Amino acid sequence: MAKRHKKQPQQKRQQITDESGWTHVTRGPKKAIDSQHLTPLRPEKIPPGLTLDKFSEKFQKNYSGHWQASSCCKDLCRIFEQQILPLEYIIITNCVCLGLGSMTTGLDSSSYEMAALIFMLEILGRKHNIPEVFFQDPVFNALDDAFLCSLGYTVLSSPSAISKINSSTFLFAPHLEFTVYATALETAIPALCIGSDMNAYINGPCHTQREERGEGERGEGERGEGERGEGERGKGERGKGERGEGEREVFQHYMNSTVSKVMPDFDRNPWCNSMRIYWLRGDDDNPKERERQYSDGEIE
């Protein structure tokens, strides 16, 4: 008689919080995960002489103005007005922004992302009442906090903002590290999400761009601790956890629940690269047909 092998039980996904307060989804025993090195993040230093008034003036002149004059802004406005706002089944009551990065340290990508988010909230506000806008990033300094509060937004300590995500949330998470991205999407299925192309995580290797580059730090357009520079951004959620099927399952489930479109190109900064806009699909949308169209290049 052939010997029957006992089937190994499937490992349960764990949620582990690192020293910075970011929560990571991964498989495997909690003890093994706790022993891994998860890089803590700290608030960025405020540049000498920079005040709230000075930064606010710089933001309006250098970032908000350039963004609103761009073709990317106009293209994004059309997508919202023609494809998202007309959908009666989509209701948005709050916004959660994760891993924006420190704007006041001179990082252009973070400031352009902020200008874009303010604009998108204005467009969505034509139809939706969005009284609560939450921000979370361990690298925010006191001046970042003050700037966001001056706009009427709320800054939360990590990982409090994750719990604010629900089915009526607009999740803004550009280039968020994929383990944190998966944690956010596993919490709930947000009505609208702008973030990295999930297809890259489903069909490709589940590791960070800095690991692909073999640098041990962060790569272009990804949040990681270290020196700040254009294209190599320090943003708040970085740590190596186990890479596995847990995150892929989360991304696949969200993609099956949504329709998506590629983010328009922005000519002044690469922050829109490899980004997509996701929104809840209606009953008439077939996720398998959408997946086929995406694979065949019929939709972007």
What pLDDT digit, counting tens, does each position of 27-73 carry? Answer: 443 333 333 445 578 899 999 999 999 999 999 999 999 999 999 99
Q: Mean pLDDT across the chain, nearest whole number?
A: 79
With CA atoms as reference, report the closest residue to 104 among 52, 158, 155: 52
Residue 165 in tokens: 């995500």
Helix orientation angle between 245-256 and 287-295, rounded to the nearest 10 degrees: 110
| Model confidence pTM above 0.95 | no
Under 8 Å CB-to-CB from 104, ≥6 apart: which residues? 44, 46, 47, 50, 55, 141, 143, 144, 147
pLDDT reported for residue 296: 53
Who wins on pLDDT, 121 or 236?
Answer: 121
Q: Which of 19-28, 50-59, 215-224 has the lowest mean pLDDT?
A: 215-224
Contact of 111 with 63, CB cutoff 8 Å: yes
What pLDDT digit, counting tens, does each position of 117-153 carry? Answer: 999 999 999 999 999 999 999 999 999 999 999 999 9
What pLDDT digit, counting tens, does each position of 144-190 carry? Answer: 999 999 999 999 998 999 999 999 999 999 999 888 999 999 999 99
